[in-house]
Structure 1
Amino acid sequence: MIRKLVCGWPLVVAGLMTCPPAHAQTFAIVNAHILSPGPVGEVAHGTIVVRDGVIIAAGANVAAPPSTRVIDAKGARVTPGFVAVNTALGLMEVSSVDGTMDGRSRSPQISAAFDVRYGLNPESTLLPVARLGGVTRAVVMPDFDDSDKQRELPFAGQAAMITLDGGSNILFKPSIGMVIELGEDGGARAGGSRAAEFVQLRTIFDNVRLYRTRKQAYDNAALRELGLSRADLEALIPVVEGRMPLIATVHRAADIRQTLQLARDYHLKLILNGAEEGWRVAREIAGQKVPVLLNPTANIPRSFDLLGATLRNAALLNAAGVDIAISGNDSGHAVRDMRYNAGLAVSHGLPYDAAIRAITLGPSCIFGTDDHIGSIAPGKEADLVIWDGDPLEPLTQPVAIFVDGKEVPLTSRALELRDRYLGASH
């Protein structure tokens, strides 16, 4: 069981500042209070050894190799880097400036084929801001542009996972899910009815199956109209084959049940996003082994879809055996709030170790990257954060952040501007 303990911030800083930044070299973090899901678990006084960006040893009875750079954590907590979900990191800068928003399309020919990987900006100023919240990887999801009321294509496009290592190539894993929105907002794009959207989806999946087996006839114009562009039909083949998850944003219990039935009928690999009334159908979600991406702060009935929203949603889903991942408070500027949201979920019944898992190994398992990231364990990439206190407490800050074993700077454009103008005022 992971527990919250107190450690001293000045001691941690003193221990770290004696060493230069690491660049994918061998180093060891000693006297670390390890907080990690998985076999290593919680270790009050442990050591983590990293070589060439990969963790080679971690635990209580681990010694730092000779001639190794040693970082003395002085008892500070060390967690895996956080894996953020439901973000637009790398795709947006200023939400009110359309030219800086690359996560959505109005094209009538590109729906499922829209792929966020081609719009990623590694120089986005939002990436360091998220990283300062302990985020080292993020799931980037496309969104809908509803300014064109004639666009009735149901899919937002394909999500990807990125790394926040500060490098020029931030793409970590492409095509990790196909994004769609159901319920009230999704139904509005299908003629104004959620019932129409479910009929539309079933028709689309039937047509994709037909296209998959009759491509030559399609190319020879010997097949009936299938309703989507060739690009969209091709993009949906991995979905109907169960190789690419369908990430369905859905809220009320009745719509969740319909979505689960759709997944059963078409043998889809399903991920629920939002699911504010998921607690009402938690056993059904768990029974189908469907994971949920959620914001545990959602408890205000902003629409009829959210009448059953509760701060206990995360705890109740977890108790039912649902694998959950906790998000931040928006897709860009407040991604780093995910750790605060995890702490709020703990205050409403989610076990502390489950909250840590929901921002590390949980999302990594959901998106199939758990062989590489999400926990502190031998063979995993060294995404590590040393904290000056409890990572789920708002006042806690990172002391050091490593992505792929490389120490990254604890700065952002916002902090640099602060320091510049604070200096100018004196």
Structure 2
Amino acid sequence: MLIIHANIKTMESQDYPNGYLKIQDGKITELGDMKDLDVQETDSLDVKGALVLPGLIDAHSHIGMWENGLGFEGDDGNEETDPLTPQLRAIDAVNPMDYCFEEARQAGITTVLTGPGSANPISGSWCAMKTCGRRIDDMLLSEQVGMKFALGENPKGVYHGKGETPMTRMGTAALIREELHKAKRYLDDQKRAKKDPDIDPPDYDAKSEALIPVLKRKMKAFFHAHRADDIFTALRIAKEFKLDCVIVHATEGYKIADILAGEKVPVIAGPVLCDRSKPELRDMSIENTAILRKHHVETAICTDHPVIPIQYLGLSAGICVKAGLPYEEALRMLTIVPAKICGIDRRVGSIKKGKDADLLIISDDPLNVYSRPDYVILNGNIVVNNIEKGN
């Protein structure tokens, strides 16, 4: 496929206001300025000056975990029978044929991170996946991109109602530490047994096995934290165990933006389109991302779907622009920044030779509520075509 007369924003070092882009076998094989294109193929797609962006990325959602239009039958996001469930995997719960994946594609979202919720202090591993397909195994960018930890109000509320630990913030942090210590000891015992044949290896422990990649920094530690004090607890635990930490939500991040900048910890901020539905959200501000960016905190924007329906990711970024976030930074927070934060930028997040051909092609402002894509291309295939439909 050859795309011509495109206003290409690559999210790399060079853009092409009147550019072309070649795609083969689902990958970007060539891009440049139209004046440098020698031959225009007969089957080229002329987008007539439309903006071409990398496919958008929602770095924190629960798409496919809480299914569209269903109650308990489609609720597979929280295993509330045990506060410590690192052995759970999102890939075993996501329904990739949930209609919300279609809504994501229609909004130009080609990659999502999804996984279990924040009922448990440790709830399980998240995956990064494309938004088009029928079998999740064929849609994955990363089967286990990160481990979900949760602090603050959510685990407290769940287990207070059961009369079980954790009922306090202290209890939540203590359980996380205890499980990480167990996993570290389990890993040390494995190493000793491997070196000395006279030492028996430890009995298999699914929870510890699941946390080993986190301890080895091969898997991100995604910490759900809204309040500033909970963010500091996440940083404290991450330092103790040398974890590759990402703060998710960071509702009060703007209060401590200078400290977060000093810690060099990235943030996945959101949801933005949200009411103050619980105490931890009472100081929520749409200026959060603008302030974080001003202090050079690496920040992505998310919907937390189904809290905010995933198709409003672009609108969420538009609201952040209204509150002072520079427009170009908003686009980066939906593309290359979440890709880098989540460690999937080798394949997605920018338009570059060798990367996946995931593209949003749009003649209007992608952050405008009235806009819709002309085309969405995913893995080199046109999955949305509103021009052909006459929309």
Residue 81 of structure 1: how far off its partner (Å): 0.5
Residue 203 of structure 1: how far off its partner (Å): 2.2
Question: For residue 57 of structure 1, what is the amino acid of its counterpart?
Answer: E
Question: For residue 356 of structure 2, what is the amino acid of its counterpart?
Answer: E
Counterpart of 2:73?
99
Contact persistence 1:94–1:101 (CA under 8 A): no
Counterpart of 1:156?
123
CA distance in 1, matches of 2:29, 2:307: 33
The verdict on how the C-alpha distance between 1:74 and 1:181 changes in structure 2, with shifts beyond 3 A counting, is same
Residue 256 of structure 1: how far off its partner (Å): 1.1
Determine which of 42, 53, 58 is the counterpart of 2:26: 53
Question: For residue 50 of structure 1, what is the amino acid of its counterpart?
Answer: I
Determine which of 255, 270, 277 is the counterpart of 1:280: 255
Task: Say whether residues 1:306 and 2:285 are aligned partners.
Answer: no
Identity %: 27
Deviations for 1:283-322, whole angstroms, at most 9, x for unmatched residues? 2222222111112626754444234321110001111111
Q: Secondary structure at the match of 1:378?
A: coil
Q: Secondary structure at the match of 2:44?
A: strand
Determine which of 250, 253, 272 is the counterpart of 1:297: 272
Q: State the TM-score, normalized to the length of structure 1.
A: 0.81
- Please list, as runs of the form range in 1=range in 2, the aligned pairs for 1:3-82 lying within 5 A after superposition: 27-41=1-15, 43-60=16-33, 61-63=35-37, 65-67=39-41, 69-82=43-56
Counterpart of 2:152?
183
Question: For residue 180 of structure 1, what is the amino acid of its counterpart?
Answer: F
CA distance in 2, matches of 1:210, 1:54: 43
The verdict on how the C-alpha distance between 1:64 and 1:353 changes in structure 2, with shifts beyond 3 A counting, is farther
Determine which of 140, 143, 152 is the counterpart of 1:174: 143
Contact persistence 2:223–2:246 (CA under 8 A): yes
CA distance in 1, matches of 2:177, 2:130: 35
The verdict on how the C-alpha distance between 1:312 and 1:110 changes in structure 2, with shifts beyond 3 A counting, is closer
Listed as ranges, the gaps of 5+ residues in structure 1 are: 1-26, 147-152, 222-228, 417-426
CA distance in 2, matches of 1:203, 1:218: 23
CA distance in 2, matches of 1:67, 1:310: 50
Q: Secondary structure at the match of 2:85?
A: coil
The verdict on how the C-alpha distance between 1:296 and 1:167 changes in structure 2, with shifts beyond 3 A counting, is closer
Contact persistence 2:58–2:334 (CA under 8 A): yes
Contact persistence 1:40–1:376 (CA under 8 A): no
Deviations for 1:61-95, whole angstroms, at most 9, x for unmatched residues? 54164535211111111111011122222333235
Q: Secondary structure at the match of 2:59?
A: strand
Counterpart of 1:135?
109
Residue 102 of structure 1: how far off its partner (Å): 2.6
The verdict on how the C-alpha distance between 1:118 and 1:332 changes in structure 2, with shifts beyond 3 A counting, is farther
CA distance in 2, matches of 1:54, 1:237: 33
Contact persistence 1:296–1:313 (CA under 8 A): no
Residue 381 of structure 1: how far off its partner (Å): 0.9
The verdict on how the C-alpha distance between 1:383 and 1:369 changes in structure 2, with shifts beyond 3 A counting, is same
The verdict on how the C-alpha distance between 1:219 and 1:73 changes in structure 2, with shifts beyond 3 A counting, is same
The verdict on how the C-alpha distance between 1:62 and 1:273 changes in structure 2, with shifts beyond 3 A counting, is farther
CA distance in 2, matches of 1:136, 1:182: 29
CA distance in 2, matches of 1:81, 1:90: 19
The verdict on how the C-alpha distance between 1:62 and 1:97 changes in structure 2, with shifts beyond 3 A counting, is farther
Task: Say whether residues 1:393 and 2:368 are aligned partners.
Answer: yes
Residue 57 of structure 1: how far off its partner (Å): 2.1
Contact persistence 1:298–1:309 (CA under 8 A): no
Deviations for 1:331-377, whole angstroms, at most 9, x for unmatched residues? 37711111000111111111111100111111111111111111111
CA distance in 2, matches of 1:382, 1:406: 8
CA distance in 2, matches of 1:247, 1:409: 32
CA distance in 2, matches of 1:140, 1:368: 14
The verdict on how the C-alpha distance between 1:40 and 1:304 changes in structure 2, with shifts beyond 3 A counting, is same
Counterpart of 1:420?
none
Q: State the TM-score, normalized to the length of structure 2.
A: 0.87
Would you identify which runs of 4 or more consecutive aligned residues in structure 1 move more than 4 Å?
A: 215-221, 298-301
Residue 272 of structure 1: how far off its partner (Å): 0.6
Q: How many residues align?
A: 371
The verdict on how the C-alpha distance between 1:102 and 1:64 changes in structure 2, with shifts beyond 3 A counting, is farther
Deviations for 1:93-152, whole angstroms, at most 9, x for unmatched residues? 2354222223332454970010011233332222111110001111012125x6xxxxxx
The verdict on how the C-alpha distance between 1:81 and 1:239 changes in structure 2, with shifts beyond 3 A counting, is same
The verdict on how the C-alpha distance between 1:312 and 1:409 changes in structure 2, with shifts beyond 3 A counting, is closer
Contact persistence 1:240–1:268 (CA under 8 A): yes
Question: For residue 243 of structure 2, what is the amino acid of its counterpart?
Answer: L
The verdict on how the C-alpha distance between 1:269 and 1:304 changes in structure 2, with shifts beyond 3 A counting, is same
Question: For residue 243 of structure 1, what is the amino acid of its counterpart?
Answer: K
Counterpart of 1:225?
none
For the aligned residue pairs, the C-alpha RMSD in angstroms reads 2.5
CA distance in 2, matches of 1:66, 1:180: 51
Deviations for 1:228-252, whole angstroms, at most 9, x for unmatched residues? x911111011112222111111011
